[in-house]
């Protein structure tokens, strides 16, 4: 298990620098596996959670695709695959460990194409409004494209975690549009445009 301050979505890349001995030990174990994977979960730090760490019970499996030794750390690249639910946290050994169960991936329905296209248009609009790169390339896989749109939505970690927990593709796209629209409105108000021409 790898707790992070951000959410990893399926079909999205993750680049990490590992330097803590416990995570280097985790990496060594992963490299012995034919298909090295680890789970990424959102972690919250701060006084609102008792001053310690709070690990969320929903995460994403990450498939290790690249490892490079640097002078002071190991650079790795992984890609999100499937969502997982944490059934039980185990004692650290020395890195975080848990028993997890895989959540079945969504199945694409062509009836959702218009909804997905509307979601994509809004997310790309948000990228333009907020000074991002609107022409980012997305996968041709229809379910993967929906996850990538959720990952590109201008939201914080807790809202991203809500997106990760969507019960259906329809829910995922609806919440992506709602949160993106809210973010655009907030950005325009904060920047003084008020949303009016």
**End-of-domain residue from the set 102, 134, 151:** 102
Residues 95 and 39 both lie in one domain: yes
pLDDT, position 151: 97
The number of distinct structural domains making up the chain is: 2
- pLDDT tens-digit profile of 74-99? 999 999 999 999 999 999 888 999 99
Residues 118 and 164 both lie in one domain: yes
Residue 150 CA to residue 171 CA, distance in Å, equals 11
Residues 134 and 164 both lie in one domain: yes
Residues 21 and 89 both lie in one domain: yes
CA 129 vs CA 61, 121, 179, 180: distances in Å: 32, 12, 15, 11
Of 183, 85, 184, 79, give the one whose Cα is nearest residue 141: 79
Residue 33 CA to residue 179 CA, distance in Å, equals 39
Please give the average per-residue pLDDT across 108-128, as a whole number.
97
Q: Which neighbouring-strand residues pair with 13?
A: 79
Residues 145 and 125 both lie in one domain: yes
pLDDT, position 132: 83
- pLDDT tens-digit profile of 17-63? 999 999 999 999 999 999 999 999 999 764 334 445 788 999 999 99
Instruction: Give the pair of three-digit tokens for residue 5.
Output: 């301050």
Residues 79 and 168 both lie in one domain: no
Of 44, 78, 43, give the one whose Cα is nearest residue 61: 78
Exposure b/e, 117-153, CB count within 10 A at least 16 = b: eebbebbbebbebeeeeeeeebeeebbbbbbbbbbbb
Domain interval for residue 183: 110-190
pLDDT, position 134: 81
pLDDT, position 92: 87
Residues 124 and 84 both lie in one domain: no
**End-of-domain residue from the set 102, 128, 154:** 102
Report the predicted TM-score, pTM, of the whole model to 2 decimal places. 0.89
Could you tell me the pLDDT band of residue 111, with boundaries at 50, 70 and 90? very high
Instruction: Give the pair of three-digit tokens for residue 127.
Output: 């990228």
Residues 76 and 136 both lie in one domain: no
Residues 54 and 77 both lie in one domain: yes
Q: Mean pLDDT for the chain?
A: 91
Residue 69 lies in a domain: yes
């Amino acid at each position: 298990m790898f707790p992070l301050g951000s959410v990893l979505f399926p079909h999205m890349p993750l680049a990490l620098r590992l330097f803590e001995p416990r995570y280097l030990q985790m990496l060594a174990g992963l490299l012995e596996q034919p298909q090295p994977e680890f789970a990424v979960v959102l972690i919250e730090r701060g006084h609102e959670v008792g001053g310690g760490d709070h690990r969320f019970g929903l995460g994403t499996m990450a498939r290790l695709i690249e490892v490079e030794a640097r002078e002071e750390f190991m650079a790795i690249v992984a890609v999100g695959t499937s969502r997982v639910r944490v059934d039980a946290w185990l004692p650290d050994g020395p890195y975080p460990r848990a028993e997890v169960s895989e959540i079945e991936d969504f199945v694409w329905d062509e009836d959702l194409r218009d909804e997905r296209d509307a979601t994509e248009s809004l997310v790309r609009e948000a990228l333009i409004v907020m000074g991002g790169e609107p022409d980012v390339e997305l996968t041709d896989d229809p379910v993967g494209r929906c996850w990538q749109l959720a990952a590109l939505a201008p939201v914080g970690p807790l809202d991203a975690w809500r997106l990760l927990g969507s019960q259906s593709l329809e829910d995922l796209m609806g919440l992506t549009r709602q949160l993106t629209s809210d973010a655009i409105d907030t950005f325009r108000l904060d920047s003084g445009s008020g949303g009016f021409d």
